[in-house]
Amino acid sequence: MNTSPVPAGSFAVWLTQIQQALRGIGGTDVPCGECVGCCVSSYYIPLRASDAPVAAQVPPALLHVTGPAEAPQQWMAYGADGHCPMLRNRQCTVYAQRPQTCRDYDCRIFAAAGIAAGDAVRHVINERVAAWQFNYDSPAERRTHEAVTAAAAFIAAHECDIAGIRFPAGPTGIAVLALKVHGVFLDDALNGADAPTLAWAIIAASKAFEAGG
């Protein structure tokens, strides 16, 4: 396993960019280098209408459709080896037209949350997650990262054990929610609060984020 540090960039700059991306504004520029982790990790890729040029190139057996006939959802499945069918010799053959989901994917969310991207099927991504190394321009930035990690740990620990609340169980859902609500763990007024109080504060923070707050 190669975990030599890989520069992830400024945490503050990245956090601003990823939060904007989660709101559907802009995106992040992931310094993938030669890593193809997300391309070889058995991901189903949802295809939007704008991804039609890619859908036309997917082998029929790997183009799945779900949902009602009036609103079908296309998915690009993966091969028996877990690899994306558009990957050839470790190169994306549709990179210029790659699906929006692929453009949006940024495995630094897991590094920020302090969690793995998944089980052994995601081992290539997990190696990169372990290697990412953010830099911080101030103690406040480091504290913000610690708050994201604390939020993720809380969400994972209390998935469904607080009445009336069910948090995401999967790594992506946990990391994304933590990025949205980490401010709860920077709020001195909530320092020492019990689990239900923190959980409901997370729900409120998530709603505020979705509302543009």
* Residue 44 token pair: 């189903």
Q: Where are the domains of the chain?
A: 6-132, 138-210
Task: Look at the block and give the residue holding tokens 């991306």.
Answer: 21
Please name which of 71, 21, 67, 64 lies closest in space to residue 44, comparing C-alpha atoms.
64
Strands 132-135 vs 6-10: parallel, antiparallel or unpaired: parallel
Could you tell me which residues are beta bridge partners of residue 88? 91
195-213 residue pLDDT tens? 999 999 999 999 999 998 7
Widest pairwise Cα distance in the chain: 55
116-171 residue pLDDT tens? 999 999 999 999 999 999 999 999 999 999 999 999 999 999 998 899 999 999 99
Q: pLDDT at position 207, please?
A: 96
Give mean pLDDT, residues 79-92. 95
- DSSP letter for each residue of 34-89: T--GGGSS---EEE-GGGHHHHTTS-GGGEEEES-TTS-EEEE---TTS--TTEET
What's the pTM?
0.91
Beta-carbon contacts of residue 6 (< 8 Å; ≥ 6 apart):
31, 33, 128, 131, 132, 133
